[in-house]
Structure 1
Amino acid sequence: MTETAADSSIKPEPFHASIMQIEPQWIDYNGHLNMAYYNVMFDRAIDQLWLKLGIGPTYMKERGGSTFTAECHVRYLREIHLGDPVQVSVWLLEADEKRLHTFQELRHASEGWISATSENMSLHIDMNSRKVAPFPSDIRERIGAVVKAHGAVPRPEGIGRNIAMPSKR
């Protein structure tokens, strides 16, 4: 996938990354996908969306900007095994001049059930100073269009959850 300008036909649906296959070395001694590799697949999906937004590797090389993850909350809901095809859907929930709030669902690509979710806050970084900096105006426009499109669909369950022990009754 190449880095492109904004698509004039942004659809009111989450971004759907390419279907991925579980790699054999990602399976742990429990016989399922090791927790670290869920993040690898979430990251690969975000990279695909970033290319669509024009903030991938070319952007970093030519314009000196990139994104760093500031916070991540992953929920593991159902096991994934070797041979399972998976696809990540990404919602760009909110954005401001320096931050992107995303939510992702990892689904079994042929059966449709959710295996895991990941909610993230990413920061725009000026790679010369390695400090948080505003997105350029053209990128902010592109991001705004995607936030608007993704806002037109129901928000998935699980956004904004925190980690806590179940309350005693």
Structure 2
Amino acid sequence: MSGTPALSSGADTAPFRSSRKTVLPEWIDYNGHLNMAYYNVLFDTAIDEFFLAAGLGPDYVASENASFFTVEAHICYVRELAEGAPVHVESRILDVDDKRLHSWQELYHAEEGFLSATSEQMFLHVDMESRRTAPWPAPIRERLDALQGAATKLGRPERAGRAIRIARKASEQSA
């Protein structure tokens, strides 16, 4: 692998805090709160900041002809955000193996401090020429393991691994 860039300040701690963003007027839906599509925008731009700080930005893609693709995402909406709300996202790695990365993100109101939403994502490391999964290069895997180790100290998030379903009571199932 060509030189692995050093971690940017803050990337080696958990959780990684994104830059502050503002909920824009065009992101508000007819219910008067942040439209669900823009939660994805906020989570996606924040994970890009995290990956860039971890050395997995555009330079990595260009030098290694490899990248990582999101293959699954699960968002939980906890509390509404209004137009103009200042926000930040905290990101961390829950798990990593030879070809996959499992991330966790929390979106917070940057002034009031409340949790607005969570996002759990699974990424695959991909060889860009073959467009197939490929192992992480050893230096990157070591870095991801270290980031995951730092995040482990925070404990597993309560909402991680949730499934979408309607839980039925025994009396409803037999009816």
Question: 1:128 corresponds to which letter in structure 2?
Answer: E
1:137-163 Cα offsets, whole Å, 9 max, x none, are 111111111011111113222011100
Question: Distance in 1 between the 2:24 and 2:63 partners?
Answer: 33
Structure 1 letter corresponding to 2:69? F
Paired position in structure 2 for 1:123: 124
Question: What is the RMSD of the two structures over their aligned residues, measured on CA atoms?
Answer: 1.7
What is the alpha-carbon distance in structure 2 between the residues aligned to residue 33 and residue 155 of structure 1? 27
What runs of 5+ residues in structure 1 fail to find an aligned partner? Answer: none
SS at match of 2:30: coil
Quick check: which has more Rg, 1 or 2?
A: 2
Task: Tell whether the 8 Å contact from 1:55 to 1:65 is kept in structure 2 after alignment.
Answer: no
Q: Distance in 1 between matches of 2:62 and 2:9?
A: 25
Rounded to whole Å, the distance in 2 between the matches of 1:54 and 1:26 is 30
Verify the 8 A CA contact 1:4 1:51 in the aligned structure 2. Answer: no
How far residue 6 of structure 1 moved from its aligned partner, in angstroms, is 2.8
Q: Which amino acid aligns with 1:23?
A: L
Provide the residue aligned with 1:28 in structure 2. Answer: 29
TM-superposed deviation, 1:7: 5.2
Identity of aligned residues (%): 51
Change (3 A) 1:52 1:8: closer
Secondary structure class of the residue paired with 2:76: strand
Find runs of 4+ consecutive structure 1 residues off by over 4 angstroms. none
> Matched residue of 1:124: which SS?
strand
Q: Deviations over 1:12-68 (max 9, x none)?
A: x31111111112211111111110010010001110111122111111112111111
In the alignment, is the contact (CA less than 8 A) between 2:78 and 2:116 conserved in 1?
yes
Contact 2:73 2:122 in 1 (8 A): yes
What are the within-5 Å matches in structure 2 for residues 16-165 of structure 1? 16-165=17-166
Tell me which residue corresponds to 2:6.
5
Unaligned stretches of 5+ residues in structure 2: none
Supply the distance in 1 between the matched residues of 2:164 and 2:152 (Cα, whole angstroms). 25
Deviation at 1:4, TM superposition (A): 4.4
Tell me how many residue pairs correspond in the alignment. Answer: 166
Tell me the TM-score normalized by structure 1: 0.92
Q: Measured at CA, do residues 4 and 80 of structure 1 come closer, stay the same or move farther in structure 2, by a change above 3 Å?
A: farther
Rounded Cα–Cα distance in structure 1 between residues aligned with 2:53 and 2:99: 18
TM-score (norm 2): 0.89
Structure 1 match to 2:15? 14
